[in-house]
Amino acid sequence: MVKICGIGAGYVGGPTMAVIALKCPSIEVAVVDISHSRISAWNSDKLPIYEPGLEEVVKQCRGKNLLFSTDVEKHISEADIIFVSVNTPTKSGGLGAGKAADLTYWESAARMVADVSKSNKIVVEKSTVPVRTAEAIEKILTHNSSKGVKFQILSNPEFLSEGTAIQDLIKPDRVLIGGRDGPEGQEAILKLKGIYDHWVPEDRIITTNLWSAELSKLADNAFLAQRISSINAMSALCEVTGAEVSQVSHALSKNTKIGPKFLNASVGFGGSCFQKDILNLVYICESNGLIEVANYWKQVIKVNDYQKSRFVNRVVSSMFNTVSGKKIAVLGFAFKKDTSDTRKTPAIDVCKGLLGDNACLSIYDPKVSEEQILKDLSLSSAATTTVKQVNIVRDAYEATKDAHGICILTEWDEFKTLDYQKVFDNMQKPAFVFDGRNILNVDKLREIGFIVYSIGRPLHQWQDNMPQPQQA
């Protein structure tokens, strides 16, 4: 039986290994991690991450050909193919701080593989890594392994979107495998391809050299983030010209050379990948003397930061230039719907911006824990009790009760179907809604009596709805 070991039980490693186990029942799949709490969660009824469909896949395979373990050395030693899905955050210090990828976890994993391997292995990069990382990994493996043990490094980047990760794995639009050009490299590619052949059509499996595969992942996220920043830049122009961003977006989507995806204006993009990978790309460009190219990609990040600060400024300016002491209901904290992930979520910057103006926040998200929200806002439970500026609540109606304004920061479906008449009746007046995801029916809200700001809609539409001062 072929044995696979997945190092890293996070957002990539756990779901990826679970789907391989589901689709390849003859393959034994072990997911290993040094975190005992994380592995315990994977072996429990409450998985450490929320992803639609993941729980069903894990329960179907766990205890059969899928196991989660902290016995890292044992499963690495026994594996034929090792998938490495460890975190590669942006460096916080040293050379390239703030831009370059930190490969500390990757190097640690490679040294572990070298130390315990007694037989030949295929080592697969699943993490997003800088171009030519495979070269460095090869050196670590070959200089630290037992004599006679050979390794082949493959790049097999993930292209998962949180919230749809299981479907992305079961029905991928493409699988990319990069390897060396020689006979051994090509043989390794075929072995990995043979795993995906169990369920992925052959025309969707792309093979390249190592460096093309590594760069393709960075380029993929950079291009997607660029589209979001581009439409968000247009949303600002729409507001002051009378154009509607949804109509502009729809017109663009009908151009087959552009297409409809990632053209929804919002408060900004978040998640673990886009900003990290663009900064990594910037660093690689700068390191190779491509300053103009680096500056081009920096602008994507700057527009994203601008969109978040623009949203905060709109909230404050609309509410008579101050939110001090006012209750603002924040609906949604995850960076997108159908995930509990809050990494780089726009909600963090928006909440901090409002807190900076002394707003009182009442935050509700259906999947993000109170502990995580307080951690992301750099607050402790004790501080929250004392200051009383942040309150994490159990439902949207509790969040909006007695609020002066509502900020929609995640596009959860339940926010579309709330009883907004009930919400309005229980709010302070005038009652404001700031739709940071453009998911609400603005006209209906205005009929109820709300003053509504929706990203990319003409400013006069909400200015006309503002309460007028009474004449003496």
- Return binding residues: 8-13, 33, 38, 86-90, 127-128, 162, 273-276, 343
Residue 81: which H helix or E strand, with range? strand 81-84
Please report the DSSP string for 23-74 in residue order: H-TTSEEEEE-S-HHHHHHHTSSS-SS--TTHHHHHHHHBTTTEEEES-HHH
Q: How far apart are CA 306 and CA 347, in angstroms?
A: 14
Residue 448: which H helix or E strand, with range? helix 442-448
Q: What residue type is 210 in one-letter code? A: L
Long-range residue pairs from 248-255, CB within 8 A, at least 24 positions apart, any chain: 248/456
Please report the DSSP string for 403-437 in residue order: -SEEEE-S--GGGGSS-HHHHHHTS-SS-EEEESS
Q: Is the dihedral of CA 397, 398, 400, 404 positive or negative?
A: positive
E strands in 265-411: 327-331, 360-364, 390-392, 405-408
Q: What residue type is 139 in one-letter code? A: K
Q: Out of 5, 61, 273, 285, which one is annotated catalytic?
A: 273
Q: How far apart are CA 122 and CA 153, in angstroms?
A: 6
Residues making up the binding site for NAD(+): 8-13, 33, 38, 86-90, 127-128, 162, 273-276, 343
Exposure on the CB side of residue 445, measured as CA atoms within 13 A? 27
Q: Is the dihedral of CA 255, 261, 264, 268 positive or negative?
A: negative
Considering only CA atoms, which of 262, 332, 340, 338 is closest in space to residue 304? 262
Pairing of strands 360-364, 66-69: unpaired
Q: Residue 68 — left, alpha, or beta (φ > 0 → left; ψ -120 to 50 → alpha)?
A: beta
Q: How far apart are CA 404 and CA 434, in angstroms?
A: 11
- For helices 291-318 and 210-241, the axis angle rounded to 10 degrees is 40
Quick check: is 5 catalytic? Answer: no
- For helices 104-116 and 133-144, the axis angle rounded to 10 degrees is 30
Considering only CA atoms, which of 55, 66, 50, 58 is closest in space to residue 4? 66
Whether cis (ω within 30° of 0) applies to the bond prior to 48 is no
Task: Enumerate the active-site residues.
Answer: 273
